Amino acid sequence: MSEARLSGQVALVTGASSGIGQATAIALAQAGADVALNYFTLPEAAAQTAEQIRAMGRKAILCQVDIADADAVEAMVADIVAQLGRLDIFVSSAVYSDREPFLTANLDGFRRTIDVSMWGAFYGMRSACNQMVRQGNGGNVVIISSPHAHTAFPACMAYNMAKAANDIMARTAAMELVGHKIRVNVVHPGWTDTGGERKFFTDETLQQASKSLPLGRLAQPAEIARAVAFLVDPASGYITGSTISVDGGSQLPWWSKRGTGEF
């Protein structure tokens, strides 16, 4: 994407202090956008990301807000507009996930997973899109969802539920917003090398497990961010209600003998 493609636009990225959200904030700034970085944890990483964006000559503001709080999200969007003048792009990347069998799951963690990963995406999209409608110039939404939306990974019921909701939420929004020229799309990352994965796996486990994937490695956050930058590019203006998988072929029958056709 040309550096100037997003010049004059303002993006809000949630979960921007690490992983895919952080990489996306940087990619959008590289494409010319000013960026509001939402985060709830890792404030030092968020501040370093903001400095990296400012070093590119873009504006960056920090928004430490729990996206599971609807009122706080509304106030955040209003503050972004007050500081940066407008809002053109919303990327939902913030997530929370606990992994336990549902029969014995701690329901506080189960609810928190839903509150952040589903309701947080909804609150952010709703507030951002209301602002875009008020501006009257269209806009872009990208929801970072997951193959968990359609694959019943065990011990991940709350996250699976949230991501399934994200997908149909985005498609419904795409239908409702098409008349406002607001495009809404979804990205399904494959298994990505982020700090969040270390909540569940050691580095050694990740390294060994990644070898069994079709491309033999985990995705890097910047590879997912490129898909987001592509979707919000004005040159992609005929894409809405779509899902792009950036998964290294992980939805292929990777458990078969690679390339032999044998099982």
pTM of the model: 0.92
Range list of H helices, 86-240: 107-114, 120-135, 157-177, 203-210, 221-232
CATH code reported for the domain at 10-246: 3.40.50.720
Note the pLDDT tens digit of each residue in 233-256. 999 999 999 999 998 888 777 666
118 SS3 class: helix
16 in Cβ contact with 22 (< 8 Å): yes
For the chain, the domains span 10-246
How far apart are alpha carbons 23 and 165 in whole angstroms? Answer: 24
Catalytic residue list: 146, 159, 163
Sign of the dihedral defined by the CA atoms of residues 38, 44, 47, 52, in that order: negative
Note the pLDDT tens digit of each residue in 6-60. 999 999 999 999 999 999 999 999 999 999 999 999 999 999 999 999 999 999 9
